Structure 1
Amino acid sequence: MVAPVARISEGASGPKAGRALALLASLFFMWGFITVINGTLLPHLRSVFALSYTQTTLIESVWFIAYFFASIPSAMVIERVGYQRSMVIGLAMMAVGALIMVPAAKLPSYEVTLFALFVIASGITLLQVAANPYVSVLGKPETASSRLNLVQAFNSAGATLAPLFGGYLILGRTTSGTAAAGAAALTPAERLADAQSVVLPYVIVAVVLAVLAVIIARFPLPPMGVATQRAAKAPPSGKSLGYRIAHHPLWQHRNLVLGIPAIFIYLIAEIGVGNLFINFVSQPEIGNLTHQQASNYLFLLWGGMMVGRLVGAFAMQRVEAGHALAVASIGATIVMLIAAFTTGHVAMWALISVGLFHSIMFPTIFTLGIKGLGPLTEEGSGLLIMAIAGGALVVVQGWLADSYGLQTSFLLTAACEVYVLFYALWGSKTA
C-alpha cells in the first residue's frame, strides 16, 4: 500500500503556517548558535586543561553521543506530550545545561564540563526530533527540502554569529585566546583565570533559552496532521523482539536505510571541520593567527553555510533535491583535497569555502530520508536525528591529527563527502 503523504492539519495553511515557521526558525537559530560555540570553546578548553587533539575532540564526542542516547527517548516524549510541549522541554533542558557550565568553570572541572555539554546536547536532540519533521510537513511535500533549507539558514545564522560571540567573550578575554601560536604553556593561575571566562556567555544563553521556552509554550502552534501518526498501536506479536525489529516496515524504505549512515557520515565531516578549524588556520604554515583572530574566519565558514542554505531554499523549488546534493558533495570533496594538500591562504580559504558546499547537506539528506514514510515519519525522524551521533567520531579525526598531522586528518572529511555523493545519486531514490 502507498503510505499517506505527511501533511500538517488543514487549519495550518496561509499566515498561520508562516507565523509558525518564523517562530520555529528561532529554535533553529539557537541550537545552531549553541552548537558552534563549541568551536571556540574547544581550543579554549584545550589550553585550560592542556589537552591533546584526541582529548579535545573527545569533548565534542560526548556532545554527539547525547544524540544517540536521547533520540529514541525524545521520540517517545513527543508521542506522549506532543510536538509543542516537547520543544519547551528541550529548551528548558538546554537552559539547565548552560547553567551547569557556571560551576564547571568555577571549579574548574573537566568532568562537570562534559556533563553540562551532554545535558545541553540532549535538549537540542529533543528539539531536533520535534522541529525537523514539523517543518518538513508544514506545507507542500514537494517543497519540503526547500522549506527545511530555509529554516536551516537560520540555524547557520546562529552558527555564523557564535564564533564572534565566543571569540569576544571567551577567547578575547583569556590569555590563551590572545597568545600567539607556539606561545608558552599557561601557568596554573592563568588557567584558572581563563576558565572563568565561560561564565558570562553561558548565563546569557540560559536566559535567552528560558525566554524562548515561555514564548513557545504560549504560541498557538498548529497540530501535526494524522498522516504522520500511527492510527493504533500494533497488536502484540508472538515473534521475538529481534524478529519484529528486523522486519519493521521502516527497513523497506531504501532512502531512510541509506539516509541514516549519510547523516552519520556527513556529521563527521561537518563537526571535524568546525572543531579543528581554529587550530588549523592558526598554524604558522597556514594562517599564522591567534585563536581570537582565527575565530573571525570561523565566522566566514558558518556564514557560507547560511548563504548556501538561503540559495538552496530558493533553488530547490526548481532543482531536484538529489541533484543539488550531488553538486554540493562534489564541490566539498574538491575543496577538502585542496585544504589537505596545499598550504598558506590557499589551504585556509579552501577550508572556509567548504561551508558553502556543506550548507544544504543535512536538511536535504533529512528530507530525502523521510520522504514517503507517512505514519512512520516520527520513528524515521528519530533514527535520522540519532545518526547525528556520527559527530562523536570526530575523535577519530583528532587521533589522525595527533598521529599523522592536523592537515592530513582532513582526508577523512573528503572521504565522507564521497558517501554523500553516493547517497545523492542512488541511495536517496525511493524504492
Structure 2
Amino acid sequence: MALAPDVASSTDPQPIDEDGAGINAPGLQYFVFGLFFIFGGITSLNDVIIPKLKELFTLNYTQAMLVQFCFFTAYLLIGIPGAKLVKKIGYMRGAVAGLCLMILGCLLFIPASQTATYALFLGALFILASGVVIVQVVANPLISLLGPQKTAHSRLTFAQAFNSLGTTIFPIVGAAVILGSLANVSADQLSGAELAAYRTAESEAIWQGYLGVAVLIALVALAVWLFRNRLPHDAQSMGDNALVSSKRYNLGLALVIAGAVIASFVSGWLGLLFILAAPVIWLHDNDLLKRTRFGYGALCIFLYVGAEVSIGSIIINYLLQSEVMAQGGPFTAWLNGTITYIFNDLLGFDVVLAPNAVEWMIGLYWGGAMLGRFIGSGLLRVFSPGKILAFNALGAITLIAISANTTGEVAGYTLLACGLMNSIMFPTIFSLACEKLGPRAADGSGIINVAIFGGAVVPLLFGVIADTSGSLAVALTLPAICYAIIAGFGYYARRPA
C-alpha cells in the first residue's frame, strides 16, 4: 500500500513538492464518506437521548452527562487496541469489525429499554461507541491518504462535512421518534409500579430508533465487506512498532476498572482520577507526544471534543429554559411555521410542529457544523488552516459570551451558531497535529482517538458546574476556556511543521 508523501505544510495553500498521488483506490472515498456519515450520526443521537433519559430517570446534569462519559470512555479504552487491530487486518476489514460492534451496541438497547435500567443504557452506549472508535481509527487517516498530501486538510474537512450531515439528520429524526413520545406526565410525579411501567413504555421509542440505526449500519457493513479487496493491505507499510506494550495497556486497563468500582461505591472524583491515570501510563514517554506540535494538537482534540459535546448535550435543556426559548419567539414561530408549510402543504407530509417547538433545533447546531465544513473545505485551500482555526475558536468564544449574557432568542440562536464555529476544528486540528507522521499515521490516529476521551471528562465537569452553580450559562465558561486554548494552537500551527 502506497502512502502519501511525508511532506506537509500548514501555511502555504500550494506548497512545494506535495504532488504525490497518495493511495490509488478509485471510488473508495465514497465508502469513507459513508463511514463519516454513520459514526457522526450515531454520536449526535446522544444529544437526543440525554434529555429523554434525564426525564425518565429524574437525573441531575452530572448524572445525565454519564451518557457522554460512558460513550467517550470507549475512545480511551479502544483507541489504542483499535489502532493495533487496523494495523493487523487493514483499513477495510477494520471498518467492518467496527460496524459489526456498532450493530451489537444498537441491539443492546432492546433489553435496556425493556428493563428500563439506566446502567444497561450506559453499557449499550459503551459497546456502540467502541465500534465507532474503530471506524474512526480507520476513517480519519484513510481519507488523508486517498489523494495528494497538499490537499489533505481540505479533503479531511470535506469528509467531515458528511460526518456533519449525519449529525444533522440523525438528531432531527431521533427527536421526532424519541422525544416525540414524551407524555404530559413526568417521571418525578410517579413512583413504584407506575413509575416502572412509565419508564418501560417511554423507553420503547429508544430501542425502536436504534433498531432502525442497526439496519442502516448493517447495509453499510455489507457494502464495505463486498469491496474489502479494493484496498490491498500492507501491514509492514503501516509500521510494526506497538503503540503501547500489552503489559502497560493491561496496567492502565486495571486502573480504569478499579476507578469504575471506586466511582460506583466510594467516591466519584477519586474514581475519575484512577481512570485518568490510565492514559498517562499508556502514553508516558511516547515518541509521538514528544513532538510539540502533535502533543499540543492531541490536547486540543481533547478540549475541542469536550467543548462541542458539552454544548450539544445541554442545548435542548438550555433552549427550554424559561428565560431563553421555552415560550418560543417571533423568529421561532416563523421558522416552525415555514417548516410545517414546506412539509405539509408542499411535500404532502403530516408534520405537527408547535410554534414554540425547539427540541428539533439540535439539528441546527450540527447543521451549522455541516455548512461550515463544506465552506471550510474550500477556504482551507486558500488560507492558512492554523489562522482559520484560531479565527473560529475566537468566534465560538464570542458567541458563548453573547449567549450567556443575554436572554430570549438571542441567547438561544447565538449558542446554536457555535456549531458553525466548530465546523472545521476537528479535521483541522487533526491534520495539523498529524503532519509528517508518514507510516505512523495509524498510531497517531490511535492517540488522537484516546484524546477524544475529552468528550467524557469535560461534559462531566460541565454538569458539575451547572449543578453547583444552578446555571447553564455559568457552566458555559468551561467550553469557552477550551476554545481559548484551541485558538492558541491555531496561532502556533500557522507555521509549517
Task: Tell whether the structures are fold-level matches, with TM greater than 0.5.
Answer: yes
Aligned CA-pair RMSD: 2.8
1:35 maps onto 2:43 in alignment:
yes
Counterpart of 1:413? 479
Task: Give per-residue Cα distances to partners, 1:263-292, cap 9 Å, x unaligned.
Answer: 001111100010000000001100015999
Letter in 1 for 2:149: P
Counterpart of 1:111? 119
Note the 1:29-68 alignment, pairs <5 A: 29-68=37-76
Superposed displacement of residue 130, structure 1: 1.1
Q: Give the gaps of 5 or more residues in structure 2.
A: 9-17, 243-247, 250-279, 329-352
Note the 1:170-181 alignment, pairs <5 A: 170-175=178-183
Structure 2: how far apart are the matches of 1:277 and 1:243?
35
Note the 1:59-208 alignment, pairs <5 A: 59-175=67-183, 185-187=188-190, 188=195, 189-208=197-216
Counterpart of 1:288? 326
Counterpart of 1:316? 380
Letter in 2 for 1:407: A
Superposed displacement of residue 255, structure 1: 1.5
Letter in 2 for 1:421: A
1:395 maps onto 2:456 in alignment:
no
Superposed displacement of residue 101, structure 1: 0.3
Would you say the 8 A contact 1:90–1:126 is kept in 2? yes
Pair 1:227–1:128, CA change in 2 (3 A): same
Structure 2: how far apart are the matches of 1:173 and 1:217?
36
Letter in 2 for 1:202: Y
1:221 maps onto 2:230 in alignment:
yes
% identical equivalent positions: 35
Letter in 2 for 1:406: L
Structure 2: how far apart are the matches of 1:62 and 1:377?
27
1:278 maps onto 2:316 in alignment:
yes
Superposed displacement of residue 306, structure 1: 0.3
Q: Give the gaps of 5 or more residues in structure 1.
A: 235-239
Structure 2: how far apart are the matches of 1:48 and 1:325?
39
Secondary structure of the residue aligned to 1:30 is helix
Counterpart of 1:326? 390
Letter in 2 for 1:185: D
Q: Which has the higher helix share?
A: 1
Structure 1: how far apart are the matches of 2:144 and 2:369?
20
Secondary structure of the residue aligned to 1:371 is coil
Superposed displacement of residue 75, structure 1: 0.8
After TM superposition, which residue ranges in structure 1, 4 or more long, deviate above 6 angstroms? 6-11, 224-227, 240-245
Counterpart of 2:6? 4
Which residue of the other structure, out of 471, 483, 489, is the alignment partner of 1:423?
Answer: 489
Would you say the 8 A contact 2:19–2:150 is kept in 1? no
Pair 1:140–1:228, CA change in 2 (3 A): farther
Would you say the 8 A contact 2:100–2:221 is kept in 1? yes
Superposed displacement of residue 295, structure 1: 2.4
Structure 2: how far apart are the matches of 1:8 and 1:389?
35
Task: Give per-residue Cα distances to partners, 1:102-136, cap 9 Å, x unaligned.
Answer: 11000011111111000010100001111100001
Which residue of the other structure, out of 359, 363, 366, is the alignment partner of 2:430?
Answer: 366
Number of aligned residue pairs: give it: 416
Structure 2: how far apart are the matches of 1:103 and 1:192?
10
Structure 1: how far apart are the matches of 2:63 and 2:187?
20
Superposed displacement of residue 20, structure 1: 1.0
Structure 2: how far apart are the matches of 1:334 and 1:344?
17
Would you say the 8 A contact 2:143–2:156 is kept in 1? yes
Structure 2: how far apart are the matches of 1:244 and 1:174?
43
Pair 1:419–1:302, CA change in 2 (3 A): same
Counterpart of 1:237? none
Superposed displacement of residue 294, structure 1: 2.3
Structure 1: how far apart are the matches of 2:22 and 2:189?
60
Would you say the 8 A contact 1:61–1:395 is kept in 2? yes
Structure 1: how far apart are the matches of 2:200 and 2:162?
35
After TM superposition, the score normalised by the length of structure 1 is 0.90
Task: Give per-residue Cα distances to partners, 1:113-166, cap 9 Å, x unaligned.
Answer: 111000010100001111100001111112111101111101101111122111
Counterpart of 2:408? 344
Would you say the 8 A contact 2:103–2:214 is kept in 1? yes
Secondary structure of the residue aligned to 1:333 is helix
Structure 1: how far apart are the matches of 2:402 and 2:282?
47
Counterpart of 2:350? none
Would you say the 8 A contact 1:134–1:224 is kept in 2? no
Superposed displacement of residue 190, structure 1: 2.9
